[in-house]
């Protein structure tokens, strides 16, 4: 029985990404290590993404608080607003939304950059000159995304909680100390640790998919645009799939 063309293409690409990922683990732990390029990518991927992540986090915390307040007032539990917002941001909304923003900004950037290098034969030139393009271009970027996204999630959560504090004080007068006491009293390690750990997997997925799409780009400038777009779509989808798996694992371990 012959599989439909779309299904066959899906499995072909899944297999290609798996081989690409396997090569990453093969190359990542073998010298020579591109330390300078890795630090440069951490700066580009992490530091330059902070303003967008911070602004989005602040607005998210503010809007979430303003949307939740009327419902809590109706049920007479308005005092639980800081605790509910804190749990929602730390456990789910913060990591996932930050990862989606990261996929849109960094995934497309990596896909377009490596795709442009591929179609202009710069990657082939690196191989001819004796440089390992996979280690220099892929390993450094994937390691940087894996490391930087959890840090961005932590900073984004902190800024988002501050935005929620501003939202709480639109209608009431709650002190900074009281607000954060209510938030952290409602949180446990089982809320924080799974959310932090899964952000490493989000970062790895965004990096590996962006590099895969760029490294396999073709058909000139049209292919570069397609690679950038595909990197965003596939990495965003993988964020949701990994989040679903993370929820199932934490539920099995009794951490929910």
Per residue in 99-122, pLDDT (tens digit) is 999 999 999 999 888 988 888 888
The pLDDT-based confidence of 151 (bands split at 50, 70, 90) is: very high
pLDDT exceeds 90 at position 128: no
pLDDT tens sequence across 22-62: 989 988 888 888 889 999 999 999 998 999 999 999 999 99
Q: Which two tokens stand for residue 98?
A: 């930050």
Separation CA 218–CA 204 (nearest Å): 24
**Any idea which residue has 């940087």 for tokens?**
144
How far, in Å, CA of 173 to CA of 168, rounded? 8
pTM, entire model? 0.90
Confidence of residue 208 (pLDDT cuts 50, 70, 90): very high
Tell me how far apart the alpha carbons of residues 218 and 215 are, in angstroms, rounded to a whole number. 9
Sole residue written with tokens 């330059």: 48
Task: Report DSSP state, residue 31.
Answer: S
Q: What local confidence, expressed as pLDDT, does residue 131 receive?
A: 77
Q: Which of 91, 96, 89, 106 shows the shortest CA–CA distance to 50?
A: 106
pLDDT digits (tens, 9 = 90+) for 153-180: 999 999 999 999 998 888 778 888 888 8
Closest CA to 158 of 180, 173, 136, 125: 180
Whether pLDDT at 16 is above 70 = yes
Between vectors from CA 213 to CA 210 and to CA 217, what angle results, nearest 5°? 140
Q: How far apart are CA 197 and CA 176, in angstroms?
A: 28
How much of the chain, in percent, has pLDDT values that exceed 90? 40
% of the chain at pLDDT higher than 70: 97
Give ∠ CA 100-89-206 in degrees, rounded to 5: 20
Q: Which residue has the higher pLDDT, 4 or 216?
A: 216
Structure confidence at residue 6 (pLDDT): 76
- How does residue 71 score in pLDDT terms, banded at 50, 70 and 90? confident
Q: Is the pLDDT of residue 227 over 70?
A: yes
pLDDT given at position 1: 59
Three-state DSSP class for residue 223: helix
In the predicted structure, residue 218 carries a pLDDT above the cut 80: no
């Amino acid at each position: 029985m012959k599989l439909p063309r779309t299904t066959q293409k899906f499995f072909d690409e899944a297999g290609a990404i798996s081989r690409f990922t396997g090569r990453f683990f093969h190359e990542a732990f073998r010298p020579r290590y591109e330390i300078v390029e890795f630090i440069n990518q951490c700066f580009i991927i992490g530091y330059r993404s902070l303003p967008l992540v911070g602004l989005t986090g602040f607005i998210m915390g503010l809007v979430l608080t303003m949307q939740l307040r009327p419902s809590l007032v109706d049920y007479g539990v308005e005092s639980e607003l800081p605790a509910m917002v804190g749990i929602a941001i730390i456990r789910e909304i913060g990591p996932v939304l930050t990862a989606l923003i990261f996929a849109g900004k960094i995934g497309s950037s990596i896909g377009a950059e490596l795709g442009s290098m591929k179609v202009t034969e710069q990657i082939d030139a690196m191989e001819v000159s004796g440089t390992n393009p996979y280690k220099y271009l892929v390993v450094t970027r994937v390691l940087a995304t894996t490391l930087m996204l959890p840090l961005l999630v932590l900073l984004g959560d902190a800024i988002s909680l501050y935005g929620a504090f501003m939202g709480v004080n639109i209608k009431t007068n709650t002190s900074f100390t009281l607000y954060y006491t209510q938030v952290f009293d409602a949180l446990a390690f089982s809320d924080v640790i799974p959310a932090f750990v899964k952000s490493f997997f989000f970062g790895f997925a965004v990096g590996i998919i962006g590099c895969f799409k760029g490294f396999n780009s073709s058909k000139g400038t049209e292919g570069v645009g397609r690679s950038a777009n595909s990197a965003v779509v596939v990495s965003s989808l993988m964020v949701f799939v990994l989040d679903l798996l993370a929820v199932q694992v934490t539920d099995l371990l009794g951490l929910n």
